[in-house]
Amino acid sequence: MDTAASEPATRRESAPSLRAGSSLRAEAPGLPGYAPPRRGPLAPRVLVTRLSPCPVLPGEDGAALEGVFARLPVPARGGREFFREGEWFVKGSGARGRRGVREGWRRARRILGEARALRRMADLGLPVPEVAAYGVETVGGFARRAFLVERWIEGTVKLGRFLQDCPDPALRRAALAEAGRVVARMHGVGLFHRDLSLRNLLVRPRGGGVEVFLIDAPQAAWGALPFRRGMFRRADLLRLARGLRTKGLDPAEAAAAFPGMPVEEVRGLLGRAREERRRGRTPDVAGLLWVWFGV
């Protein structure tokens, strides 16, 4: 294994450029057609941050990015794909061609936002996947493609699937209670997920109880002003309630996911989630007032 690939480091270098009539090639042995890096403000540049040894990213930064995207069939207009290799889970997002530049920039920013959010959550002691590496290719200062490598958490299932398939009511309540504790810890350190659906909470039975992990947080926010903290917290709880309501949970059972909240308040929260789902994209003034001001 290349020693440079196994040492945590952050480096910036120019990525391979395009020759007329050729495709973009990585600087790696056995790949013909490599063109020397093009200089200038519009030349593609690659920055890869390696946090732990990761065999999915061999070689230098440009070769690592091209190696990832060779396995990610990202659509021309922009998209997000992923694959798993052993204990590693790799996500990538971006675009090819001029027509997908704006969408690729938006999606690449989401991947980078998720990498930073997961690192922040890990620093705060929250249960999240370990980030092994992430990288971005920029053109003219704008992100065009990005990828994220996480360590795969074995034995986990999404909370929604767990609630649907688990036949043991006590284990279901334990999973809801642990999810509620994890969410309360996250809010307690001033961090907010902003997409707290059941698919973004992973459950793993362990011993007589369960573990819960947070994933997929590209919109996570921290360091917000007090007013926005309350707004983000209520929005997280409403999103969680909307997911629990789709599983047919009654307020008494769903209350386990909202520690410290009386059952009557949980009933009202599920009612707001039902109204939000019924209206779809139509704004619910009462719901917005509750999220913004808590009234």
Each residue of 156-202: pLDDT tens digit?
A: 999 999 999 999 999 999 999 999 999 999 999 999 999 999 999 99
For residue 202, give the 3-state DSSP assignment: strand
Give the residue-averaged pLDDT of 76-95: 81
CATH of region 157-293, choose from 1.10.3720.10, 3.40.50.150, 3.40.50.720, 1.10.510.10: 1.10.510.10
Q: Residues 6 or more apart from 184 whose CB is under 8 A from it?
A: 259, 260
Could you tell me the pLDDT band of residue 96, with boundaries at 50, 70 and 90? Answer: low
Could you tell me the pLDDT band of residue 153, with boundaries at 50, 70 and 90? Answer: very high
Contact in structure between 107 and 137 (CB atoms under 8 Å): no
CA distance linking residue 71 with residue 93, whole number of Å: 12
Furthest C-alpha separation in the chain: 68
Quick: pLDDT tens for 238-295. Answer: 999 999 999 989 999 999 999 999 999 999 999 988 887 666 655 577 777 888 888 6
Nearest Cα neighbor of 184 from 219, 233, 232 is 233
Least confident of 17-31, 108-122, 183-197, 235-249: 17-31
Which residue intervals of the chain bear CATH 1.10.510.10?
Answer: 157-293
pLDDT on residue 150: 95
pLDDT on residue 76: 54
Written as six digits, the tokens of 281 are 């994209």
CA distance linking residue 197 with residue 224, whole number of Å: 21
Q: Is the pLDDT of residue 125 over 60?
A: yes
Instruction: Determine how many CB atoms are found less than 10 A away from the CB of residue 23.
Output: 8
pLDDT on residue 24: 35
Report which DSSP code applies to 98.
Answer: G
Q: Is the pLDDT of residue 237 over 70?
A: yes
Q: Name the pTM for this structure.
A: 0.81
For residue 125, give the 3-state DSSP assignment: coil
pLDDT on residue 17: 36
pLDDT on residue 263: 95
Q: Is the pLDDT of residue 99 over 70?
A: no
Mean pLDDT estimate for the chain: 82
Q: Is the pLDDT of residue 5 over 50?
A: no
Q: Is the pLDDT of residue 87 over 60?
A: yes
Could you tell me the pLDDT band of residue 22, with boundaries at 50, 70 and 90? Answer: very low
pLDDT on residue 54: 82
